[in-house]
Amino acid sequence: MSENREGFLAGSRLERVLRSGRFAVTAELNPPDSADPQEVYDAALVLSQVCDAINATDASGAHCHMSSVAICALLTRAGYEPVYQVSCRDRNRIAIQGDLLGAAAMGVRNVLCLTGDDVTAGDQPEAKRVFDFDSIQLLRTARIMRDRGVFLSGRKLTTPPRFFLGAASNPFVPPYDWRPLRLAKKVEAGANFIQTQYCFDIARFREFMRRVRDLGLHEKVYILVGVGPLRSEKAAEFMRTKVPGVHIPDAIVERLRKTPKPRKREEGKRICIEIIQQVREIEGVAGIHVMAYRQEELVAEIVEEAGLLPRPLRVGAADERRREHPRKWPRR
Amino acid sequence: MSLGAWLRNHPAALERAYLFTHRLFERLDPLFARMGYERAERLVRWPEELGKKLVFDCRMCGQCILHSTGMTCPMTCPKNLRNGPCGGVRGNGHCEVKPEMRCVWVEAYERSRAMPRFGDEIALIQPPVNRRLQGTSAWINMLTGVDARTPRGWEMGSQA
């Protein structure tokens, strides 16, 4: 691996926080259906005060929004720390490698390599699915660009990108036995950190982590557990039937159903906080990743009430660097 | 249940059949070399396609890794994933894209556990697909070595 003088792969804040052994918090930004950068900045402003890095999703659920590379470019311009999500659904290897370089040039240091939800999950199911790469091939290609300074073809890069590389994991869907081994494969392909699918099933996650520890993976990769609030039992039902890969146990849906209507939102938040507190106790968990779809305003409350403030954590050199190049805040 | 599905659920037998065919083709290699691989390819391709379509629902990617994927064709995964299941697998083990179909990788993993010889190869990292080989004979590509050729950068990655 190519590490710089301080021993960092990318020197991003996320990498520094995780390497320092502190509990990290990342959050997902809901991408706007808009050509106005202000909408990105408005969403980022709220999140940036309660997390260490902001994920820019790549047309998740196969719904078209502002592109993740553009959102990341806006975020770095304003001094925020993005995690650039790249999915294999929409672009072939040529486009993906070009975008990786472009993102790096824009100051992006964290990349999350994903397979991507299928086109049939979205509102344009007639689209052509690409999947030229799978997520593991994408991950390794990004690592080759970083560590070997070449494209997949072997052609040299004049300046290689510096990336802290991430991958996803979903311990909550079959084949359960293989999920820890698939994680091992991702680590071998180059994953430095993992962000999991929504965790609502603590028992299942504990079992997964036990296997992960047996394989020694928790010492090779930083695992951030996906969490998020549920608005109501209806939202839970929608998510577990309509959103690919989300598993919500009946007990949680039932708990929301029994809660009187005005308190449902609060109860959803409480469940989320309880899950955070439980996963924090599990050995090998390095942080959480908050995904609050259409409930961004709740992220701050969740992070605060889970006792995870102040954020973002100060990490030395990354903050220094930011001081050298003063933030250019967008016009508000 | 179709013949193909029945056979696929006997992965250990398929594994032996694979090994047998592999050896057979290696034996035939000098012959193919003499007649020229292009001519051999014309000869081999259609029976290969016929047989593999019947048994594996083969998509003729031309770089067969069946023995490394539980004798289950990864190209029948709607996302063409070659390194394992996506995160969209349904709770009942069915496919995110085709709810009526069991996930190709759920089946691949189950079957690989019943394969004493190549079962563990499911853990190997598979390189990106060479799309130029689509529609050609994987057996001939194996003999010429073209199926194992990966981009130069990929090779460097395996040493990184």
Task: List pLDDT tens digits, range A54-76.
Answer: 999 999 999 999 999 999 999 99
Residues 6+ apart with CB under 8 A from B34: none
Inter-chain touch B160–A132, beta carbons under 8 Å = no
- The residues, ordered by sequence, that sit 6+ positions from A154 with a Cβ below 8 Å of its Cβ are B151, B152, B153, B156
- Report percent pLDDT > 90 for chain B: 91
Considering only residues 85 to 114 of chain A, which have any Cβ-Cβ distance to chain B shorter than 8 Å? 88-89, 93
Assign A7 a pLDDT band (cuts: 50, 70, 90).
confident
Give residue A235's pLDDT.
95
- Residue A32 in any domain: the answer is yes
Instruction: Encode pLDDT of A280-289 as tens digits.
Output: 999 999 999 9
- Which residue does chain B place closest to A195, by CA atoms? B87
pLDDT (0 to 100) of residue B156: 78
At a CB cut-off of 8 Å and minimum separation 6, what does A321 contact? none
Element holding A29 (H helix, E strand): strand A24-29
Q: Please give the pLDDT value at position B5.
A: 83
Interfacial A residues in 181-200 facing B (CB < 8 Å): 181-182, 184-185, 188-190, 197
Query: What band does A321 get if pLDDT is binned at 50, 70 and 90?
Result: low
Task: Name the residue type at position A156.
Answer: K
pLDDT bin (cut points 50, 70, 90) of residue A317 is low
pLDDT of residue A5: 61
Confidence at residue A323, expressed as pLDDT on a 0 to 100 scale? 46
Confidence of residue A1 (pLDDT cuts 50, 70, 90): low
Residue with tokens 């990354």: A318
Are the Cβ atoms of A118 and B129 closer than 8 angstroms?
Answer: no
Determine the pLDDT at residue B155: 84
Say which CATH number the domain at A120 has. Answer: 3.20.20.220
Q: Which residues of A touch B84 (CB under 8 A)?
A: 136, 178, 182, 185
Contact A9, A15 (CB under 8 A): yes
Question: Is the pLDDT at A325 greater than 60, yes or no?
Answer: no
Is the Cβ pair B109, A178 closer than 8 Å? Answer: yes
**Block residue for tokens 């799978």:** A134
Burial A121-160 (b: 16+ CB within 10 A, else e): bbeeeeeebbbbbbbbbbbbbbbbbbbbbbbbeeeeeeeb
Mean pLDDT of A144-169: 97
B98 to chain A: closest CA residue: A120
With a cut of 60, say whether residue A318 has pLDDT above it.
no
For A168, name the nearest residue in chain B, comparing CA atoms only: B87
Cα–Cα distance between A228 and A288 in angstroms, integer? 10
Question: Residue A324's pLDDT is what?
Answer: 44
Amino acid, single-letter form, for residue A102: G
User: Angle formed by the axes of helices A202-214 and A264-280, to 10°?
Assistant: 20
Chain B residues near any Cβ of chain A (below 8 Å): 78-93, 96-97, 103, 105-106, 109-110, 123, 125-129, 131, 151-154, 156-157, 160
Token pair recorded at residue A310: 């102040």
* Residue at A319 is within a domain: no
Ranges of residues in chain B with a pLDDT under 50 are none
Q: How many structural domains are present in chain A?
A: 1
Q: Return the residue of B nearest to A249 by Cα.
A: B91
Per-residue pLDDT for A319 more than 80?
no
- Residue A30, pLDDT > 70, answer yes
How near does any CA of chain B get to the CA of A298, in Å? Answer: 26
For residue B3, the model assigns a pLDDT of 83
Residues of B in contact with A135 (CB under 8 A): 83, 86
Q: What is the mean pLDDT of chain A?
A: 94
What residues of chain A lie within 8 A of the CB of B86, using their CB?
A: 115, 135, 245
Write out pLDDT tens, residues B37-80: 999 999 999 999 999 999 999 999 999 999 999 999 999 999 99
Q: What is the pLDDT of residue B1?
A: 60
Report pLDDT digits (tens) over A161-187: 999 999 999 999 999 999 999 999 999
In this predicted model, what pLDDT tens digit does every residue of A215-262 receive, in sequence order?
Answer: 999 999 999 999 999 999 999 999 999 999 999 999 999 999 999 999
Structural domain containing residue A187:
13-314
d(CA A72, CA A77): 8
Which residues in chain B have Cβ-Cβ distances shorter than 8 Å to A125? Answer: none
ipTM summary value: 0.96
Residue A3 lies in a domain: no
Q: Where is average pLDDT lowest: A115-124, A160-169, A237-246, A316-325?
A: A316-325
Residue among B90, B93, B157 minimizing CB distance to A148: B157
- The answer to whether the beta carbons of residues B125 and A167 sit under 8 Å apart is no
Count of CB atoms within 10 A of residue A11's CB? 20
Is pLDDT above 50 for A332?
no
Q: What is the pLDDT of residue B64?
A: 97
Q: Which residue of A has its CA nearest to B131?
A: A132
CA distance A314 to A66: 30
What single letter denotes the amino acid at residue A216?
A: G
Name the residue of chain B whose CA is nearest to A138's CA.
Answer: B128
Mutate to test the interface with A, among B76, B77, B86, B95 (most CBs of A within 10 A): B86
Chain A residues with CB-CB distance to B96 below 8 A:
117-118, 121, 244-245
Answer whether residue A327 is part of any domain: no
